[in-house]
Amino acid sequence: MLKITSPFLKKEEVLPLIEAGANELYCGYLSPEWVKKYTAFEFERKGGESNFTDLRELEQAVNLAHKRKIPVYLTLNGLYVKEQYPLLLKIVNQLEQIGFDGYIVADIGLLLTLREKGFKRRIHISTGGTVFNSEAVSFYKNLGVSRIVLDRQTDIKSMMALSRDNPEIDFEVFILYTLCVYIDGFCTFLHTSGRESTEDISRKDWKDNQRLHLLTAYDPESRADACCLKYTVGVYDSTGQRINIKNIRPTFYKQLVDGVECGACAIYEISKTKVKSIKIIGRQLSPESRLRGTRFMRSVLDILENNKEINKRDFIQKSQKLYQKTFEYKKRCRGNNCYHPAVLI
């Protein structure tokens, strides 16, 4: 049966997530030394607040999970230039004192370095590794990788083929929250809001429409990821001539999202592949969201486990009802929030 891999950010989340049905956990670590030198701006392509910052707390969290026989993986899925390696390796050496079950990496240099230095832990390739075909699986297998996290845009057919043809590699797929509409490993847009802090410095007697805030930011203009912006669109033909026809527009998928992004309906088919685990996104979300997501996925898997004869249509119906209840979504599921809308056809 599929395992659920859940993110966590605090030691206090470990036991509730396990009780909610998580079979594996993953987290990140942002070292204060790294922040001092390089800031937390766009650390591992997110803002720094999505990570542990205290090694002791992290170790306690890992030990807590291990007492319940739950493995914990650490994400180190940034891209690192030469100048960053001395500090990066110092941090990795610190992390080696904690008994993680493995690292999730995207950078080929880090992967090669970990192997070169004889680090024995399991290495998972994140979506940053951009694996879409069997030869890419072989490429990473030859580098000693034991699990590949497939990109969110990998279709079920590909999951079936890749996992079937490479039984010695574990495959993991994302299943809930933040669906990237661009290929994660190839997207070079900044993924951080740029705003560091906002403090209301209004005088007490000032009215609501006179508020004044102190804003510190690297980029005050940056309020959303590039894929979520409402662009002004000009349309041109292949010769460069402007076209003024209103209904020629690209689809901005993120603007169609009106609920939690979810792949639950696809679990019926995913469970027939050799994919081993489904991963919930959400280190940057609230603890409640992470817990809710884990419970939801556990319940979806229970639908399959409690009725092995269930057909696909009934499974999807039950999953959608559960989704509507869990995430208070009042509309009919119609594909705009779906990871795998093809399963609805």
Partner 1 sequence: MERVIFITKINQLKYVTSRFSRLYFGIEFCERLIPSLDDLKKMLCYIQRKGLNISLVSPYVTNIGLGRLKTLFEFLKSEKINCEVIINDWGVLNLINRKYPNLTPVLGRLLTKQKRCPRLIRLLKRQLMPRLIVDSKNPDQRHIFIPKILPLDLDSYYKGSDTSSVPVIHNFLIGQRIKRIELDNTAQGLLLELPRDKISASIYLPYVYISTTFFCPTAGCDLKKAFLLKIKSCKKQCQKYVFKLRHRTMPKIIYLKGNTQFYKNARLRIGEFAKIGIDRIVYQPQLPI
Which CB atom, from 200 or from 309, has the smaller least distance to partner 1? 200
What does the alpha-carbon distance between residue 123 and residue 149 come to, in Å, rounded to a whole number? Answer: 11
- Of 264, 286, 260, the closest CA to residue 8 belongs to 286
Which CB atom, from 238 or from 306, has the smaller least distance to partner 1? 238
Which CB atom, from 84 or from 320, has the smaller least distance to partner 1? 84
What does the alpha-carbon distance between residue 68 and residue 25 come to, in Å, rounded to a whole number? Answer: 12
Which CB atom, from 59 or from 155, has the smaller least distance to partner 1? 155
User: Number of C-alpha atoms within 13 angstroms, CB side, residue 147?
Assistant: 22
Q: How far is the CB of 37 from partner 1 (least distance, A)?
A: 6
Which CB atom, from 134 or from 277, has the smaller least distance to partner 1? 134
What does the alpha-carbon distance between residue 230 and residue 208 come to, in Å, rounded to a whole number? Answer: 28
List, in sequence order, every residue forming a beta bridge with 74; answer none if it has no partner: 27, 103
Token pair belonging to 33: 């030394």
Residue 67, amino acid = K
Q: How far is the CB of 138 from partner 1 (least distance, A)?
A: 5
What does the alpha-carbon distance between residue 153 and residue 184 come to, in Å, rounded to a whole number? Answer: 9
Q: How far is the CB of 60 from partner 1 (least distance, A)?
A: 31
Q: How far is the CB of 190 from partner 1 (least distance, A)?
A: 4
Helices of type H across 101-184:
108-116, 134-141, 156-165
Q: How far is the CB of 257 from partner 1 (least distance, A)?
A: 10
